[in-house]
């Protein structure tokens, strides 16, 4: 035998010769004394019988021993934007579920592919959808259904998907991968974090700034409503459109086009970051500092003396400040849904731990889910803090006079953090770069940076001008 296994071919011959003939309906009649068997060592078929049947067996065996194309093929599909491990897991679940549903509908007891390895292993890739090949199962699968011979593997190094199956399987897998491997839309979120000092008559920082917020979006300032074009037309950094402006000293001075100024300069800008992220990808902003905090204390016997213990503390760094997490969901019409998590930590007091002063950290958190069109301003507030400030009179240390003129007094201040967010969906490269390039031009390194940013790829960078 050249291509087939002699033992398998003998079994096929036996089954064929026992099948009723197409013409007479009776089994094929072998001559008396005709027999055949397989020699496994030499992979040959030994035939004994009359000479008139040799030609028949030669043609039949040669036909069955001919080379045939395999039922399954293997291919490598490169991914451009998606993660290979995640895509392989998704395809595994899809193939497994479809084959299991088909098995249940047909009433058979076939084992679904991939049941033992639904999650691919990155370090050592394994088959995430595998089953014993079955020609009958492949033949029964429709053109739009997966067969039970599908195998899916993620290649983490090249970020590709290795697939194996029938021609229809590979076609279906390519179509699915092409649809899910698209470039996700991006959004730039401009943020202004302001701290507003409230008076006794102020209920919130938003009302103190004379702003009106409807459904989480800024609609009017000082009684003047913002137009849709104005709200969508500029950045929070100080262009037209009724948006907060920031001068060089970092104070909230007013609103462009409106003669409004926060009374008594009771608002100040803490930070003005901008972040860019993709659809359904969380981005984080942190403004603060890291402080050492004691997390554990260990006592050991003192080796220098017979009594006493040596105490040592375990210290870890703790981020204390303002943290903002944004998870955007971008629609095709320019709508953006934002899941916003705000967290503010500050030091409210100190306590002694093993002779070391440690901070008592206060924490304020909020979680919001708001929707806005690209360019609209979202306003979030409500994170208020009360702080008592003790002040001492200059006459405090002088006896009797301090009692007469007042030795000390305690004032309570109330502040609130107000955050302005403006999502902008990035759709056009030239238009999306305008805001960033304007900030580059305003910096001290604007001309040098422009030489690098404006050059054509492949051209050498010009030497900086001598000053």
Side-chain-side CA neighbours of 206 within 13 Å: the count stands at 17
pLDDT at position 91, please?
94
Spatial distance between the Cα atoms of 364 and 445, rounded to a whole number of angstroms: 39
- Percent share of the chain, pLDDT over 90: 17
Each residue's pLDDT tens digit, 126-170: 344 444 444 444 444 456 788 888 999 999 999 999 999 988 899
Angle made by CA atoms 189, 195, 196, in degrees to the nearest 5: 125
Residue for token pair 């690098």: 452
As a whole number, mean pLDDT of residues 25-38 equals 69
pLDDT at position 117, please?
40
pLDDT at position 173, please?
94
Using 50, 70 and 90 to split pLDDT, how confident is the model at 80?
very high
Q: How many CB atoms lie within 10 A of CB 228?
A: 10
Mean pLDDT for the chain? 73
Each residue's pLDDT tens digit, 235-282: 333 333 333 433 333 333 333 222 233 344 577 778 888 889 999 999
Spatial distance between the Cα atoms of 207 and 229, rounded to a whole number of angstroms: 24
pLDDT at position 242, please?
35
Look at residue 54 and tell me whether its pLDDT is greater than 90: no
pLDDT at position 176, please?
94
Using 50, 70 and 90 to split pLDDT, how confident is the model at 301?
confident
Classify 432 as helix, strand or coil.
Answer: helix
Helix, strand, coil percentages in the chain from 3-state DSSP, rounded to 5? 25, 40, 35
Look at residue 408 and tell me whether its pLDDT is greater than 70: no
pTM (whole model) above 0.75: no
Look at residue 337 and tell me whether its pLDDT is greater than 90: yes
Least confident of 7-21, 277-291, 381-395: 381-395
End-to-end CA distance of the chain: 86
Spatial distance between the Cα atoms of 6 and 61, rounded to a whole number of angstroms: 10
Using 50, 70 and 90 to split pLDDT, how confident is the model at 349?
confident
Look at residue 58 and tell me whether its pLDDT is greater than 80: yes
Q: What are the sequence ranges of the domains in the chain? A: 6-64, 73-180, 188-425, 428-467
**Residue 378 backbone dihedrals phi, psi, to 5 degrees:** -105, 135
Each residue's pLDDT tens digit, 210-244: 677 766 666 665 544 544 333 433 333 333 333 34
pLDDT at position 278, please?
92
Residue 343's DSSP bridge partners are: 323, 365
């Amino acid at each position: 035998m050249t291509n087939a296994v002699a033992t398998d071919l003998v079994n096929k011959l036996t089954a064929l010769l026992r099948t009723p003939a197409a013409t007479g309906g009776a089994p094929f009649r072998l001559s008396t004394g005709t027999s055949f068997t397989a020699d496994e060592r030499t992979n040959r078929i030994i035939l004994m019988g009359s000479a008139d049947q040799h030609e028949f067996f030669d043609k039949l065996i040669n036909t069955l021993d001919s080379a045939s194309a395999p039922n399954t093929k293997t291919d490598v599909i490169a991914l451009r934007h998606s993660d290979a491990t995640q895509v392989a897991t998704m395809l595994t679940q899809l193939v497994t579920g479809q084959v299991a549903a088909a098995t249940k509908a047909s009433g058979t007891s076939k084992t679904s592919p991939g049941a033992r390895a639904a999650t691919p292993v990155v370090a050592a890739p394994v088959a995430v959808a595998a089953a014993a090949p079955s020609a009958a199962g492949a033949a029964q699968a429709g053109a739009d259904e997966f067969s039970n011979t599908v195998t899916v593997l993620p290649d983490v190094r090249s970020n590709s998907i290795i697939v194996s199956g029938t021609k229809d399987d590979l076609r279906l897998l390519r179509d699915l991968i092409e649809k899910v491997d698209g470039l996700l839309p991006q959004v730039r979120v401009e943020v202004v974090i302001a701290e507003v000092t409230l008076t006794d008559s102020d209920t919130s920082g938003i009302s103190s700034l004379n702003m009106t917020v409807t459904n989480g979006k800024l609609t009017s300032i000082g009684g003047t409503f913002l137009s849709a074009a104005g709200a969508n037309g500029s950045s929070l950094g100080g262009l037209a459109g009724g948006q907060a402006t920031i001068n060089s000293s970092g104070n909230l001075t007013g609103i462009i086009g409106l003669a409004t100024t926060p009374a008594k300069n009771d608002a100040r800008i803490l930070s003005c970051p901008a972040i860019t992220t993709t659809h359904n990808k969380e981005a984080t902003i942190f403004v603060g500092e890291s402080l050492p905090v004691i997390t554990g204390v260990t006592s050991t016997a003192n080796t220098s003396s017979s009594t006493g213990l040596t105490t040592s503390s375990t210290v870890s760094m703790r981020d204390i400040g303002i943290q903002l997490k944004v998870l955007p969901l971008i629609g095709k019409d320019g709508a953006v849904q934002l899941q916003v998590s705000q967290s503010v930590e500050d030091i409210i007091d100190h306590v002694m731990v093993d002779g070391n002063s440690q901070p008592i950290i206060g924490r304020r958190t909020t979680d919001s889910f708001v929707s806005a069109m690209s360019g609209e301003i979202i306003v979030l507030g409500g994170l208020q803090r009360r702080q008592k400030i003790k002040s001492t009179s200059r006459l405090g240390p002088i006896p009797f006079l301090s009692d007469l003129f007042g030795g000390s007094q305690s004032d309570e201040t109330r502040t609130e953090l107000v955050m302005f967010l403006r999502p902008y969906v990035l759709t056009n490269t030239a238009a999306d770069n305008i805001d960033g390039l304007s900030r580059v031009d305003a910096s001290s390194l604007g001309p040098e940076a422009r030489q690098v940013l404006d050059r054509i790829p492949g051209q050498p960078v010009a030497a900086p001008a001598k000053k």
